[in-house]
Structure formats: structure tokens, C-alpha cells
Amino acid sequence: MLFACDIASKIFVKMRQFLFLIFLSVFIGCSSCNNSKTEDAVVNEPPKPDYSHLPKFNEDSCYNNIAKQVSFGPRVPSTLAAKKCGDYLIQFFKKYADTVYVQHTVVTTFDNHKINIRNIIAAFKPKLGNRLLIASHWDSRPFADQETDVKKMRTPILAADDGASGVGVMMELATILKNNQPERGIDLVLLDAEDWGSNTGNDENTYCLGTQYWCKNPHVAGYSATNGILLDMVGAHGATFTLEAGSMNYAGNFMNDVWKTASALGYSDHFVFENSGGITDDHVFINTMLHVPTIDIIYHDIGGAKWFAPHWHTLNDNMNIIDKGTLKAVGQTLVAVIYKEKVS
């Protein structure tokens, strides 16, 4: 009886050990499974970019750059105001860029005016092949044809937003590029005679005369860039920038990347992920003639009576509508795009 009990006891102990080993194996397996899932979740989560160490875009300085241009008056081609402002811009960019190119030519407007124009190109690291093009027009429209008062329609506009804001952003970028060497080549292109076009017909070629000349006669033979960004009306209160159809057609992936960058920086109120119709702007000619995939950052009045901002081609396009917060959103986004190689 004692022998049988001893055997039973040993069998019971063995069974306990066996059951414990099974339990331990299951526990370890589950733990390993859970750890694997946790690790997979961490690995699959995209890392958030760190923009904290990038140069800071100074919106106050940018605002002053716009005010300086406006102080010359309407920069209508072939006027004294345009000559003085153009001279000022050339000297400004010479202080910061590695090379400044100036193109002089004469073009004929839709209403048969022969006008003297200048394109200004400020190049940083001009020998590098990997280049980013940033452009804006610097001229003013010679008539406020969107005014409701017929008597005001022939009045030149100051164009604080429609022209000067984009140039003001590029002027501030120039100061940053001077002190923080980029890892790619940057070209800041100021285009003339963009806004002396007809709104009465379908001849889109009457606009962007300086751009068309530059695309046919680039400042450097065989010029090319990896991507381009056009700035047009980028400084007004409450400006919203949508995914313009032409930009998406020619450089959709790049445009999405720029908008995602703006969103990561906290500027999704300005850079809205909403598709919108295509417009004729400088980027159309840069895409079709120069074949540089270029996007347009331009104020689209979502849900408004007109595609463009309410002050478009009116006398309200003055310093009163310029907003430093909008300038910061655009400028800091461009800084992140320029220095993306340094973003971790």
C-alpha cells in the first residue's frame, strides 16, 4: 500500500511538472507574440519629422520687404516705379545670392504696348545639378479691372499681395540661404510682365510675358530643375491654398509632399487638401515650355464668388490685406522643403 502510494505520489509530481512546463511554454509564446505586435506597431508608425533645428523664417522682415516694394508705387512695366523697384531688387539679391542674372527684353502686350521688362534670377550654388526653382512675378497690373466702379477700372494697382508678397517671401529666403548653405541648388526667379494680360478673351498667352521669354531663353543654356514652386498671392489674411489642378497634373506627388510638410508644421488652415480647378499662371508655361515640374501656391477663395481672392485685380490689393501669419506659414513651409535633407 505504501509502495502504491509512493508511485502515485511520484506520478502526481511528474504531472504537475509537465503541466507547469506546458503553462510556461504557452505564457512565453503569448508574451513573445504580444512583444512582436508591439514592435511591429512601433516599426510601422512613420516617424514624425523634426523641424525644430531648421532656420526660422522671419515674417516681420518679410512684411517689410513687401512694404518696401509697395513704397515705389505700382510696378507697371516701363514706368519709373518699375525701374526704381527693379534696381532695388537687383541690388538686394546681389548681397545674398552667389550669382544674379538680369534679362532685358521688349515684349508687346495684348493692347499693343511695347514694354521694357526685366527678369531677375538669384542663383545659390549655381553649379549643382539638383536644383529647386522658386518663382514669383514682381510687376503690378496696370488696371484694376475687377473693381465694381467703372471709373476705377483703369487705375494701376499696388499689388501688395498679387506680386509683392511672393517676392517678399523670396527676399527673406535669400537671407536664410546666405547664412545656411543648402544641400541643393536654389534659383529665386523674379518674373516680369505677368499681369498685363486680357480678361476679355480666351487668349491665355497674353499673360506671363516675362515667363514665356525666360522659358524660351533661360538664363543658363539648358537650364533645368528637379521641381519648381510658384508663389502668387501668398500674403493675405485668411489665405487658403488648394491643390490646383494644373499643379497636380504636372507635379502631383511633389505638391502633396509640400502640403504634408505644411500640415506637419501646423499650417493646415492655409494649405488645404482640397482639389480645385486649373488656372493659367506662370507655372503653366514653366511646365509646358521649360518642362520643370512646377506647382502653384496661390490664394483660392474656397466657396467664393470668384476663384481668386476677393482683392484680386482691385485697389484693395494693398498693405492692409497683408498678414504676417500667412507669410510665416508659407515661408516656414518653404524653409522645410529647401532643407528637407536635414530633417530627421
| Angstrom distance (rounded) from CA 55 to CA 316 | 33
Helix axes 324-338, 59-71, angle to 10 degrees: 110
Q: What is the predicted pLDDT for the residue at 37?
A: 40
Rounded to two decimals, the pTM is 0.86
Contacts of residue 110, Cβ cutoff 8 Å, sequence gap at least 6: 196, 197, 198, 203, 206
For the CA atoms of 59, 65, 67, 73, the dihedral, rounded to the nearest 10 degrees, stands at -150
Q: What is the predicted pLDDT for the residue at 48?
A: 72
Render each residue's pLDDT in the chain as its tens digit; 344 residues.
333 444 444 444 454 554 444 444 444 444 444 444 444 445 555 667 888 889 999 999 999 999 999 999 999 999 999 999 999 999 999 999 999 999 999 999 999 999 999 999 999 999 999 999 999 999 999 999 999 999 999 999 999 999 999 999 999 999 999 999 999 999 999 999 999 999 886 788 999 999 999 999 999 999 999 999 999 999 999 999 999 999 999 999 999 999 999 999 999 999 999 999 999 999 999 999 999 999 999 999 998 888 999 999 999 999 999 999 999 999 999 999 999 866 54
Its sign, for the CA torsion 234, 326, 85, 292, is negative
Helix (H) or strand (E) holding 101: strand 99-108
| Angstrom distance (rounded) from CA 195 to CA 77 | 10
φ, ψ of residue 323 to 5 degrees: the values are: -125, 125
Please check whether residue 295 is in contact with residue 255, taking contact to mean a CB–CB distance below 8 angstroms.
yes
Bridge partners of residue 275, in order along the sequence: 243
| Angstrom distance (rounded) from CA 246 to CA 51 | 29
Q: What is the predicted pLDDT for the residue at 33?
A: 43
